[in-house]
Amino acid sequence: MKIECNLQKKIISGEALSEEEYQRLGEIIKEVLTFMAREKIIPSPQNYERWFKIFCYTKERRLNLSKAELIDLYIETFQSKGDETLEQPAELVERIAEEIYQEVQSLIRGATRHGEEISQGGSRLEEIAKGITNEDIQRILSRIMNEVKGLKNINRRFIKKLEQQTKEIERLRDELRKVKEEANIDALTGLRNRRSFERTLQEFFRDFKKFGYPFSLIMMDLDNFKEVNDTYGHLVGDRVLKDVGNILRNYLRAKDIPARTGGEEFAIILPGVKKEEAIMVAERLRKVISKHRVKVDSTDVKVTASFGVSEISDSTEEPEDILREADKNLYQAKRTGKDKVVG
C-alpha cells in the first residue's frame, strides 16, 4: 500500500509553510513521539520517518485510528517493502523539529522589532498631537493612536503565543533526546547496549577504511557468573554487573566506548589504540575486577573476568571480522583457565 503525506512532501521540497501548517506539523511530531515512547518503539531515524508519515497521512485524511489499526497500516505500508520505502532523508523528524524551532525564533524576533516600531510610531503621534489645536485633527489622531495601541496589544499577544510554542518545541526536543538516549543505554549498568555498540563499531570501521583511523576491541566475559546468580540470587548478580559497569567507566578514558552486549558480556572500543596497548588496558581491568568485592551480609562476593583483544587492520573486510577475532581470543582465555587476557 502506498500512502502520501502532502505536508511531508512540501517540507522536503523546501516550500514555505503557513502558520496553520506549522501548527499541524507540531501536533504530528508530538503525537509521533508520544506514540513511539508509549509503545517502546526504537527511535531510529528510519522508525521516526515511517511513523511520521503514518501519522501525517491519517491526520490529513482525518482518520481516527486505534493503536491496532495504526500498526496494521504500518505493516501494510512498510513491512513487505524493506528498505526500499525510505524515500526521504534520514532523521527527518529531527530536522523538521529544528526547522520549526528556528522559524518560530525568527518570527519572535520579527514580531519584537515590529512591536518596537509600533511603539516608536505611537510616541511620535503623541508628540505631534500635543502641538495641534484643531479639534478635528486631534480626533483623527486620537483614533489613529487607539488603533496603534490595538496593534501593540495584538502584537504582544502574538509574541506571547510564539513564546509558548517555543517552549513546547523545546520540550519535544528534550523528550526526543531522552527517548533516543534510553534506546541506546543498558538500563542496569548505564553503559551502551548491544544495538548502540554495533552501530558505533560500524562507524569506526567506516572511518578506518576511509581515513585510516585505527582502533582496538576488547571482548570481556565474567567467569562463572551463573554460579553467582545461583548461589546469591539475581539481585546480587545485578549488583555485580552494576559494579563492573562502574569499573569500566572509572578505569577507561573518556573517549573509550564500553558496552554491555549480553548478560555478563561486555565489549570496549579503544579509539587510536594498538593491540599491545589494548592488552595492557585489558590486563589492568582484569586486576581491578579480580580485587573487587561485593559485600552480601557477612560474605564478600568476588568475580573474575576473561578478555579477548583484537585490532583492526587493512585485512579486516567487515566489522564482524574484528569481533570474531576478539571472540576467538576470549574463548581461548576461557578455555585455558579463565581470569586472563588473550590477544
Catalytic annotation, residues: 264
Euclidean distance between the first and the last CA atom of the chain, given in angstroms as a whole number: 52
- Cα separation, 186 vs 333, in Å, equals 26
**Residue partners of 38: CB distance under 8 A and separation at least 6:** none
Q: How far apart are CA 286 and CA 246, in angstroms?
A: 14
DSSP code per residue over 211-259? H---EEEEEEEETTHHHHHHHH-HHHHHHHHHHHHHHHHHHS-TT-EEE
Please answer whether residues 272 and 215 qualify as being in contact, where contact means their C-beta atoms are separated by less than 8 angstroms.
Answer: yes
Write out the DSSP string of 130-155: HT---HHHHHHHHHHHHHHHHHHHHH
Grid coordinates belonging to 94: 529531527
Query: Can you read off the three cell numbers belonging to residue 276?
Result: 599491545
Residue 226 CB neighbour total at 10 angstroms: 11
* Displacement of CA 265 from its chain's centroid (Å): 24
The dihedral built from the CA positions of residue 317, 319, 322 and 327, taken in this order, carries a sign that is negative
270 secondary structure, DSSP code: E
Angle, in degrees to the nearest 10, between helices 194-211 and 319-335: 120
Pairing status of strand 341-342 against strand 305-311: parallel
Element (H, E) at 268: strand 265-271
Asked if 310 and 275 count as a contact pair (C-beta separation under 8 A), the reply is yes
SS3 category, 48: helix
